[in-house]
Amino acid sequence: MKISLSSPYLDEEEIKAVVDVLKTPYLSMGPKIKEFEKKFAEYIGTKYAVGVSNGTAGLHISIKALNIKEGDEVITTPFSFIASSNCILYERAKPVFVDIDRKTLNINPLLISEAITPKTKAILLVHVFGQPCDMEPIMKIAKEKNLKVIEDACEAIGSEYLGKKVGTFGDLSVFAFYPNKQITTGEGGMILTNEEKFLKLAKSLRNQGRDEDSGWLEHKILGYNYRLDELSAALGIAQLEKIERIIEMRNKVAEEYNKRLKDIEGIEIPYIDTKTTKMSWFVYVIHINRMENQKKDKRLRDKLIIELAKRGIEAKPYFPPIHLQPFYREMGFKEGDFPVAEWAGDTGLALPFFTNMKIDQIEYVCDNLKALMNKL
Ligand SMILES: *Cc1c(COP(=O)(O)O)cnc(C)c1O
């Protein structure tokens, strides 16, 4: 059996939606992006939405919209996909990493205050693997210290913190629709906000610096081409229709995994916090915790990846921490800087996980994993 790490969940409706766009003259900046934005904002519960070409572009625009620039600092997590920190570097500002909570793998609110300096402008938080950050203490600190908040909700569409959807807390929030996310548009992303001034700025920045009221070739500010095309937007509308079913199906897959893996010696299954009143699963990541030290667990994890691959099962480390990526090391970051993130990076193993994953596939992964844990 061959089982990939992730797989999009698409059917005839998506195909029809895209083909229908191809029969119109509007392939970009037409009616579909407006419809997708409206429906997406409604679903999450913000006033405004701006469709963009990918999540990274959305994060970059959010940094620009807050006027974050050289000399500014932004507090963020080292345990994330690299885009959440790179977007700060794009504007020559400084990412200030704060270590994560051992259980939720999200930024540890208890460590934020000590990282704040007079240069701190914002907190860019990431709802890692779909689990909401602990928003109550984070928003309290942001308010007290007058800091802006950007939510990187790229992995957490539909997740709720104490009954409130992620993406509704920050000044700006960003979602992404790469094919491994809960819903996909191929490439694509969405910026959400409740503030009209950020809406206007985001729309201008994605469209070469044009204002709504400026002419065809009048560019008021330095902008980008970060537009979402009509084909992608149509795909997004069709996917969003199914979001509740998708979240439910992924929940079921996670449950089936939990059932089979929870009693295996040396495997920690994902932790879901009590404040996570709704979980939208992005990936299913276990942690290897069998040896007396982390480096041995890492070696076991790496062997498991190789042996699982030989059996047709694609598994991956998730995430190698951002501060240990080669070009971040060149900036002076090193091993030992953020021990919890490094532990998570050393021992985390993402197993195949996708919306319509079948029981026999889950069983095949778990049986092989069990056998390997006994053997290795
Ligand atoms: C997917 C993702 C992004 C954005 O990715 P794109 O590929 O640019 O759409 C940003 N942050 C996190 C945490 C992600 O998982």
Mean pLDDT in runs of 10 for the chain (376 residues)? 97 98 97 98 98 98 98 98 98 98 98 98 98 98 98 98 98 98 98 98 96 81 97 98 98 98 97 98 97 93 98 96 98 98 98 98 98 96
Of 106, 168, 118, nearest to 145 (Cα)?
118
Q: How far apart are CA 292 and CA 314, in angstroms?
A: 27
DSSP character string of 118-143: TTEEEEEEE-GGGPPP-HHHHHHHHH
Residue ranges around ligand 1 (CB below 6 Å) = 54-56, 80-81, 83-84, 126, 152, 154-155, 176, 178, 189
The residue whose C-alpha atom lies closest to atom 4 belonging to ligand 1 is 55
The residue whose C-alpha atom lies closest to atom 13 belonging to ligand 1 is 81
Q: What is the pLDDT of residue 103?
A: 98
Query: Which atom of ligand 1 lies closest to the CA of 187?
Result: 9
Q: What is the pLDDT of residue 216?
A: 76
Q: What is the pLDDT of residue 301?
A: 98
Q: What is the pLDDT of residue 257?
A: 98
Q: What is the pLDDT of residue 292?
A: 82
175 Cα to the center of ligand 1, angstroms? 8
Full-prediction pTM beyond 0.85?
Answer: yes
Contacting residues for 260 by C-beta, under 8 A, at least 6 apart: 362, 363, 366
81 Cα to the center of ligand 1, angstroms? 6
Q: What is the pLDDT of residue 108?
A: 98
Q: What is the pLDDT of residue 244?
A: 98
Contacting residues for 197 by C-beta, under 8 A, at least 6 apart: none
56 Cα to the center of ligand 1, angstroms? 6
Q: How far apart are CA 96 and CA 124, in angstroms?
A: 10
Of 294, 313, 295, 296, nearest to 305 (Cα)?
313
176 Cα to the center of ligand 1, angstroms? 6
Q: What is the pLDDT of residue 212?
A: 79
Query: Which atom of ligand 1 lies closest to the CA of 57?
Result: 8
The residue whose C-alpha atom lies closest to atom 5 belonging to ligand 1 is 55
Question: Two tokens at 370?
Answer: 């069990």
Q: What is the pLDDT of residue 214?
A: 73
Query: Helix, strand, coil % (nearest 5) of the chain?
Result: 40, 15, 40
